[in-house]
Amino acid sequence: MYHLLNPSHDPYFNLALEEYLTTRTPEDSEWFMLWQNQPAVIVGRHQNTAEEVNQEIVREKNIAVVRRMSGGGAVYHDLGNLNFTFIVTLSGDHSFARFAQPVLAALEKLGIAAELSGRNDLTIAGRKFSGNAQFIGKRRVLHHGTLLFNTDLEIMQQVLNVNPEKMASKGVKSVSSRVANIADHLGQPLTIQDLQEALIQAVGEYWPLEPARELTSEEIAAVNQLADSKYRRWEWNYGRSPQYNLQHSQRYPWGQIDIRLEIKKGRITSCRIYGDFFTGQDIEGLEQALHGIKYSREEVGKLLDSLELHRFIPEMDSQRWLGLIMGDEN
């Protein structure tokens, strides 16, 4: 098994690297990698990104949002979290328990009694510190997981907190869990680098590891190309979201405005605006204008700036409409 050193903290690059290793390297090659991301929300392959992520918080704190290859729920990454990746051939045992073994062994050597809970979570004293997921291809399996070492749990709760009453989705929803940091359960002060070393040693006892190596310049270029064409693109991170419905409602001095949106593949496919307000021009003109555009702050904002909005509801300027449509006014 190759041991890959990956110093990148770029979540778009790192998710592209996993796909590159899984699909574009020799089919009989197997890989192990430890890596970290700058603050990012990583959503599951089949999830509704808008439903899983608090858009206001990620925008305010400049947190990346990236869709991964594997299924499962949304997770938060920062530099207090350590990620591990195994890429192995499909033959043989590829159960979640198999990949949990070296992780649990490493923690045991550090004095932590952890266990596999359910199918894909690792827990300490009943509290989750690691979530695992898999992508199964034609000939290889990608298995990866998180390890919360000293992650900012407050930020994690904020970015993954969206009011479920606003949406009725066909996507897979994340399961809220009680979580814990490994650092809070250590009997002695250790760093995340100590955890990395323990993991490398433990994995080497389960799989013979080749000497560690870094990516070549050619490999880095290929991964960046994949990141640019897929993982850094709105179409992958948001456009693949399943169809869902949004309802945003707000009372203003001039009346109640209730907007209903149907989103499919990241675009507004239906818009209805209700309320007890008075209009000049028929509000259907605004509904029709929104039809077909990307449901993103940038695209909706551009459209609104191009319209004579005072003709619909004089008191509602573009910023108020944008806040209502994107849910900021609620």
Q: What is the pLDDT of residue 170?
A: 62
Q: How many folded domains does the chain comprise?
A: 2
Question: What is residue 188's predicted lDDT score, i.e. its pLDDT?
Answer: 86
Q: Can you give the C-alpha Rg of the chain in angstroms?
A: 23
H/E segment holding residue 19: helix 11-23
Residue 108, both tokens: 């045991």
CATH number of the structural domain spanning residue 315: 3.30.390.50
48 shares its domain with 118? yes
- Same domain assignment for residues 213 and 295: no
pLDDT of residue 162: 56
The answer to whether residues 7 and 110 belong to one domain is yes
Assess contact for 149 and 192: CB atoms under 8 A.
yes
Residues 316 and 202 in one domain: no
- Residue 150 shares a structural domain with residue 229: yes
136 and 257, same domain (yes or no): no
Last residue of a domain, one of 237, 252, 276: 237
Contact 81, 129 (CB under 8 A): no
Domain that holds residue 111: 2-237
Same domain, 203 and 322: no
Regions of the chain with pLDDT less than 70: 161-177, 280, 329-330
Q: Which of 205, 237, 269 corresponds to the end of one domain?
A: 237
Residues 220 and 266 in one domain: no
> H-type helices in 207-244, by residue range?
217-226, 234-237
**What's the pLDDT at 241?**
74
Q: At which residue do the structure tokens 């640019």 appear?
A: 228
Task: Give the strand pairing for 140-148 and 121-124.
Answer: unpaired
User: Do 163 and 280 fall within a single domain?
Assistant: no
Residue 259 in contact with residue 289, Cβ under 8 Å?
no
Residue 240 is encoded by which pair of tokens? Answer: 């693949």
pTM: 0.82
The predicted pLDDT at position 163 comes to 53
- Position 255 scores a pLDDT of 84
Q: The tokens of 321 are what? A: 């409409």
Out of 191, 222, 237, pick the residue that ends a domain: 237
Judged by DSSP in three states, 108 sits in helix
Residues 130 and 231 in one domain: yes
CATH number where 69 lies: 3.30.930.10
What angle (nearest 5°) sits at the alpha carbon of residue 104, between those of residues 102 and 109? Answer: 95
| DSSP-assigned letter for residue 304 | H
Q: What whole-number distance in Å separates Cα of residue 273 and Cα of residue 291?
A: 12
Q: Are 124 and 252 contained in the same domain?
A: no
Residue 37: the pLDDT is 98
Q: Do 304 and 233 reside in the same domain of the chain?
A: no
Q: Please give the pLDDT value at position 172.
A: 62
